Amino acid sequence: MIEAANNAKKFTETTVGRNCRFTEKIAKSVFFLMTLTMVLPLLLIVGFLFYKAWPALSIDFVLELPKNGMRAGGIWPAFLGTLYLVLISLVIAAPIGVMAAIYLNEYAKENWFTRIINLAVINLAGVPSIVHALFGLGAFVLAAGLGRSVLAASLTLAVMTLPVIIASTKEALSAVPMSFRQASWNMGVSRWQTIRGIVMPNSISGILTGIILQVSRAAGETAPIMFTGVVFYKAIEKGDLLAYGLLDQCMALAMHLYTISTQVPNVPDAVPFATAVLLLGVVLLVNALSIGLRIYLRTHRKW
């Protein structure tokens, strides 16, 4: 009888159990709300941008040159300029960053020298972009004699993104379990072959994600490029993909957006918004390329 009573007691609700479930509910809802606060503004911003930009958006807007002192026409020079800057800086920073990270994570021995390098990488990643801009102005524009040019601006962007690419690549590489490497070494496979055959395939998604994030940053930054190669207006051929030479000055979307919204009076409302939509579009385009590459690597892997 007593036992039966005890058993029944086990299944009745206690205060502790009730409190427990209550806090569980609260915790779950709070975390869910936090997720919403992240997603909702994003949707609102994108929606608002498109709504405001709608009257100006068209293929011609992308391909035309700005007219009437930026108040009409398109934004082709800025669009193309941003594409150039992002791609060139990426071509420079990504290989150097990835290779440096491979050295630091796979080969470097733990000593004062590598510790200093690691410290430098982390600190460089935290340097404000305007400081990079001044560095670029001094090093590339003046000292290296590149002048204010696409190349100087791209190099500056590359210097800015490099430390973050190194840090994120290192992170991705160190996430590959040590036991994979040991298994490979045990079979008499060399370090480089292990990196190529085992470590890289298993970290490539993480590496690419790190690089993608830096692409978005490079496309959106105004400070590093405004001193090093980007100008207010540059006339080029409409729709010409190869309009800029490496040593030409160029326009860029971020800078263009800044000038038409602050420096030029009486710009129709839709133009800055359409520019912003395109800036977003460029970022998404490069991201899509990287995602495509990731999928390609995953399905076509030969390892």
Partner 1 sequence: MVAETAKLNIDGLKLSYGSKQVIHGITFDIQPNEIFGVIGPAQSGKTSMLKVINRTIDFTADAHVEGTVKMEGQNVFHVKDVYEYRRRIGMVAPLPVGLPLTIYDNVAFAPRSFGMKDKDQLDELVQRCLEQAALWDEVKDRLDTLGTMLSGGQQQRLTIARALSHQPEVLCLDEFSIAIDPVTTMKIEDVLKELRNEMTIILVTNLVQQARRLADRTMFLLNGDLIEVDETEKIFSGNAQETKTNEFVSGAFG
Number of residues this chain uses to bind partner 1 (CB under 8 A): 19
Show the binding pattern over residues 174-213: x = contacts partner 1 (CB under 8 A), - = does not: -----xx-xxxxxxxxx--x---xx--xx-----------
Closer to partner 1 by CB, 9 or 109: give it.
109
Q: At closest approach, how far in Å is the CB of 186 from partner 1?
A: 4
Q: Are 234 and 251 in contact (CB under 8 A)?
A: yes
Closer to partner 1 by CB, 48 or 107: give it.
107
Under the binding rule (CB under 8 A), the answer on residue 300 touching partner 1 is no
Closer to partner 1 by CB, 198 or 243: give it.
198
Q: Are 274 and 61 in contact (CB under 8 A)?
A: yes
Q: At closest approach, how far in Å is the CB of 303 from partner 1?
A: 6
Closer to partner 1 by CB, 34 or 187: give it.
187
Under the binding rule (CB under 8 A), the answer on residue 303 touching partner 1 is yes
Closer to partner 1 by CB, 88 or 198: give it.
198
Per CB under 8 A, contacts with partner 1 among 92-151 are 109-110
Q: At closest approach, how far in Å is the CB of 258 from partner 1?
A: 46
Q: At closest approach, how far in Å is the CB of 299 from partner 1?
A: 13
Closer to partner 1 by CB, 121 or 199: give it.
199
C-alpha 117/C-alpha 123 separation (Å) is: 10
- List of residues contacting partner 1 (CB under 8 A): 109-110, 179-180, 182-190, 193, 197-198, 201-202, 303
